[in-house]
Structure 1
Amino acid sequence: MAARKRATRKSEAEPVSKLATPGRATTPDPLSGPKMFVLDTNVILHDAACIFAFKDNDVVLPITVLEELDRFKKGDSDINFQARRFLRTLDEITGDVMSGEGAELGEGLGRIRVVLNLESVRTRTALLSDSADHRILNTALALRELKPETQVILVTKDTNLRLKAKAFGLVSQDYFTDKLINIDDVYTGRRLLNDVPNSVLEKFYDGDGTVAAAEIAEAENPVSNENFILRNGTRSVLATYHADEQTFVRINKAACFGIRPRNAEQSFALQSLTDDRVQLITLVGRAGSGKTLLSLAAALERASAGACRQVLLARPIVPLSNRDLGFLPGDVQAKIEPYMQPLFDNLSVIKRENAGSVDMINDMLKDDRLEITPLAYIRGRSLQQTYFIVDEAQNLTPHEVKTIITRAGQGTKIVLTGDIQQIDHPYLDSLSNGLTYVINRMKGQKLFAHITLERGVRSELSELASSLL
């Protein structure tokens, strides 16, 4: 989503009573007492259902927020959908009650109301420019002065606005409802277990390559499709856990469509990518870890085996510095080509590694059975018998990812790849993006698998740059 443009139209402000002493507003304990959450527009554009996330506390919408939502309600992007959805919800909840004490949000929840622009005593001499950000901040500060017994909290995904709020002594926070607290809590999808008895390792090579979970005491609380390196000294076995059968199944380090795994992580990834039991896969890794290449190779392998009718490879377009594509020269195809080129580069690698696949790939491209396209171009399509890869998924919101996954029809597999440490979206981070959200919510589901690819495989220079620069 492009960086938000703020309105600069002058608006009338209602002065707050001077009974509140500038700079001396009472600050209640943020962990106790009544709270009032003032929402910024970007929170609503991130999650249209955000007003229901504040329990029994009151929610306040500055009138400026409604003005901004009015500008965002037209269009086909996710933020346009969120704006329309929120406005419909607000209209249903409030009816004829918008000001005063506001309307009830529901059983066990607080109230919501819209307030006109208010002017804080403290900001009169601060020489703040008249922008939407500052009007929202001004309203929150004024409410704190009007209601010193209430903890007023400004909720915004705009880091700079949070800093400005804190400069005025106002409590401000990000929107945390769909956000993990700690990056270390992100599920990796793999574990290393040392000192597994040799007798257990040998069983993986007997019979069908499966071992009952009860025989591997070292594997505590495994979850469905979790991967393990089982090691004893220099011996090791790669295995994945099947929760339904409560067994560990050995993974073969086999090549896929000419692409051979270079480490255990890539072997885990290829196993999940070609496993018809798994319908949703997330691959996280830094540049050069092979996540997109492995996904495309697996998709082509499944297509050649008749497991799917079509392969879609898409990525969201987040222009450099979040500027609109309109500033780029050329027609639409010329504008998007630089963003799609990395995907074509991966296809070229597969052609080079598997010369026998060139004719098949070219035929699939010609017949539109293999499409490489911007994610926005497939909005609204129903995906049947499709191997659908979404690259750079860390630049998607939780709602966008949910929309993609719920498009999956019968026989469709969805793969989300990305680097949660490399995000171009202005209001997402490593903990709040859609990719992290899916990993956290889907962990342990039998249709889901995840692998974090730590090691780069492009070159020694690429690995060094990823770790040091």
Structure 2
Amino acid sequence: MTVLEELDRIKDRQKDVSRDARVAIRSLEDVFASASPEQIVNGVELKNDADNQVSGKLSIFADHTLEKNQQNFTADEPDNRIINAAIYLQDKHAPRQVVLVTKDINMRLKAKGAGLERVEDYRTDQLIDDIRLLAKGFTELEGSFWGRVKDCESSSEGRDTHHVIDAEILGPCYVNQYIIDDTESFAARVVKKDEQNVELLDLGYERLMAKHAWGVHPKNIYQGMAFDALLDPNVDLVILTGPAGCGKTLLAMAAALEMVVEKGIYDKIIVTRNTPEIAESIGFLPGTEEEKMAPWLAAITDTLEVLHKHDESMSGSMNYIMEKANIQFKSVNFMRGRSIQNAFVFLDECQNLTASQLKTIITRCGEGTKLVCCGNLAQIDSNYLSAVTSGLTYIVERFKDFDGSANVYLNGVVRSRLASFAEEKL
């Protein structure tokens, strides 16, 4: 009962959590719609729509009816009432397991301290337990790569050279993962893999460092790998992660302008990002959607200024390029229901998005569209997300074996020595 009261309390908030609460309430209504009060107390069967099998029962426990001698905590707080109910059910139904599931860390600590044996987090939104385990998109090998390889089958196709090597040399890897060594002589990308062999596309360390777009050259090998993914039209999704000042936005915008204006591969650039909670309706600022989004997309306009700072008239160049490249600023909230064709879509600051919000955006992308997602998992502003539950973490893990996506962690801060010191010491 306390859980239902909590859902009722938060369903009218002007936040994502209110929508989730209403979804939960409607789901409960679907389960209990035709059940009698006796059935609700005893438990209504939960059936799987796919195979009509019963996976368990759902019931409502009237925790308000617990007497004071059955309570471990005072019943003033909702969390306390839920913990009291869980401990009461644990004692009543022993030796059966009673599990309290909550994302509230403090509630988990209180429940364990009160003697509840099984307390768990809700884990289906977590693909990894520790952010340090998140795939970086590349493997750095110690020593020389060719010093490890005893048997290799190489073939050339046009300007591309492929190597087939034993899978044990690299260990666990996935498609479109980059391979470099610390001798700064070898760089490749995984093209195919099976249990015995891995096929690599030889990119060449020097050639990666020589890649460039819109006058921007890589400052380190990580930016070289990012450029390789960004400038490859066969890679539909590029995910760039890394600390503040590592060049995510600059590389993405330079690649976007190169592929739209110079090469004509895409028709337009759509820049979007999640607006803060206070601006979810973005109605309080005057102007068009683009003008309303301008304060939150200042990072993009700053980047355009950097790319054209040596022009005779920087403002004139920017206005010309924004018109020539058909750059559109859009809010994530207005992306639902759209179908985007032949566009370069740049999603900035997506560490603050949930997996469902990112799914909404990714499924908007139609034929001939490239999506670039950038984010820094150390700068999450949402109260409801952590580094392991962020939608950015979710898509990195979900898409890492998809041959149409690439992920690169941009190691090293190149913005300034001040930014580098702050990232390291603060």
- In the superposition, the TM-score normalised over structure 1's length comes to 0.73
Q: Please report how far the alpha carbon of residue 276 of structure 1 lies from its aligned counterpart in structure 2 after TM superposition.
A: 0.8
Q: Please report how far the alpha carbon of residue 271 of structure 1 lies from its aligned counterpart in structure 2 after TM superposition.
A: 0.7
Q: Please report how far the alpha carbon of residue 220 of structure 1 lies from its aligned counterpart in structure 2 after TM superposition.
A: 4.3
Q: Please report how far the alpha carbon of residue 67 of structure 1 lies from its aligned counterpart in structure 2 after TM superposition.
A: 1.8
Aligned partners of 1:343, 1:196: CA distance in 2, in Å?
A: 38
Q: 103, 124, 129: which is aligned to 1:157?
A: 103
8 Å contact kept, 2:134–2:393 = yes
Partner of 1:430: 387
| 2:344 is the counterpart of 1:387 | yes
Q: Please report how far the alpha carbon of residue 295 of structure 1 lies from its aligned counterpart in structure 2 after TM superposition.
A: 1.1
Aligned partners of 1:240, 1:433: CA distance in 2, in Å?
A: 27
> Structure 1: which 5+ residue stretches go unaligned?
1-12, 14-60
Aligned partners of 1:172, 1:330: CA distance in 2, in Å?
A: 43
8 Å contact kept, 2:145–2:186 = no
Identical aligned residues as a percent: 30
Aligned partners of 1:189, 1:122: CA distance in 2, in Å?
A: 56
Question: Which SS does the other structure have where 1:105 is aligned?
Answer: strand
Change (3 A) 1:176 1:184: same
Partner of 2:131: 183
> Structure 2: which 5+ residue stretches go unaligned?
48-52
Partner of 2:375: 418
Q: What are the within-5 Å matches in structure 2 for residues 131-210 of structure 1?
A: 132-170=78-116, 171-179=118-126, 180-193=128-141, 194-197=143-146, 208-210=159-161
Amino acid corresponding to residue 34 of structure 2 in structure 1: D
Change (3 A) 1:104 1:369: farther
Aligned partners of 2:365, 2:172: CA distance in 1, in Å?
A: 30
Change (3 A) 1:136 1:64: farther
Aligned partners of 2:314, 2:147: CA distance in 1, in Å?
A: 41
Aligned partners of 1:123, 1:318: CA distance in 2, in Å?
A: 44
| 2:59 is the counterpart of 1:102 | no
Partner of 2:264: 306
Partner of 2:50: none
8 Å contact kept, 1:204–1:211 = yes
Question: Which SS does the other structure have where 2:186 is aligned?
Answer: strand
Partner of 1:443: 400
Q: Cα deviation per residue 1:368-408 (whole Å; 9 max; x = unaligned)?
A: 92123432233332221121121121111112122221111
Question: Which SS does the other structure have where 2:408 is aligned?
Answer: strand
Aligned partners of 1:155, 1:395: CA distance in 2, in Å?
A: 24
Q: 416, 419, 422: which is aligned to 1:462?
A: 419
Q: Cα deviation per residue 1:246-271 (whole Å; 9 max; x = unaligned)?
A: 33131532221121110000010011
Question: Which SS does the other structure have where 2:41 is aligned?
Answer: coil
| 2:208 is the counterpart of 1:252 | yes
Amino acid corresponding to residue 71 of structure 1 in structure 2: D
Q: 317, 331, 336: which is aligned to 2:285?
A: 331
Aligned partners of 2:394, 2:67: CA distance in 1, in Å?
A: 37
Aligned partners of 2:347, 2:237: CA distance in 1, in Å?
A: 11
Change (3 A) 1:64 1:148: farther
Aligned residues: 399
Q: Please report how far the alpha carbon of residue 144 of structure 1 lies from its aligned counterpart in structure 2 after TM superposition.
A: 3.6
Change (3 A) 1:329 1:409: closer
| 2:222 is the counterpart of 1:268 | no
Question: Which SS does the other structure have where 1:282 is aligned?
Answer: strand
Q: Please report how far the alpha carbon of residue 169 of structure 1 lies from its aligned counterpart in structure 2 after TM superposition.
A: 3.2
Q: 164, 188, 192: which is aligned to 1:243?
A: 192
Amino acid corresponding to residue 314 of structure 1 in structure 2: T
Q: Please report how far the alpha carbon of residue 88 of structure 1 lies from its aligned counterpart in structure 2 after TM superposition.
A: 4.0
Amino acid corresponding to residue 393 of structure 1 in structure 2: C
Aligned partners of 1:239, 1:357: CA distance in 2, in Å?
A: 38
Change (3 A) 1:140 1:353: farther
Change (3 A) 1:150 1:347: farther
Q: 141, 145, 165: which is aligned to 1:214?
A: 165
Question: Which SS does the other structure have where 2:60 is aligned?
Answer: strand
Change (3 A) 1:66 1:212: same
8 Å contact kept, 1:188–1:452 = yes
- In the superposition, the TM-score normalised over structure 2's length comes to 0.80
8 Å contact kept, 1:212–1:247 = yes
Change (3 A) 1:248 1:329: closer
Change (3 A) 1:197 1:379: same
| 2:179 is the counterpart of 1:228 | yes
Partner of 1:62: 3
Q: 286, 289, 300: which is aligned to 2:243?
A: 286
Question: Which SS does the other structure have where 1:438 is aligned?
Answer: helix
| 2:329 is the counterpart of 1:375 | no
| 2:19 is the counterpart of 1:71 | no
Amino acid corresponding to residue 96 of structure 1 in structure 2: S
Q: Cα deviation per residue 1:160-181 (whole Å; 9 max; x = unaligned)?
A: 3333333433343321112112
8 Å contact kept, 1:62–1:139 = no
Aligned partners of 1:267, 1:223: CA distance in 2, in Å?
A: 19
Amino acid corresponding to residue 102 of structure 1 in structure 2: G
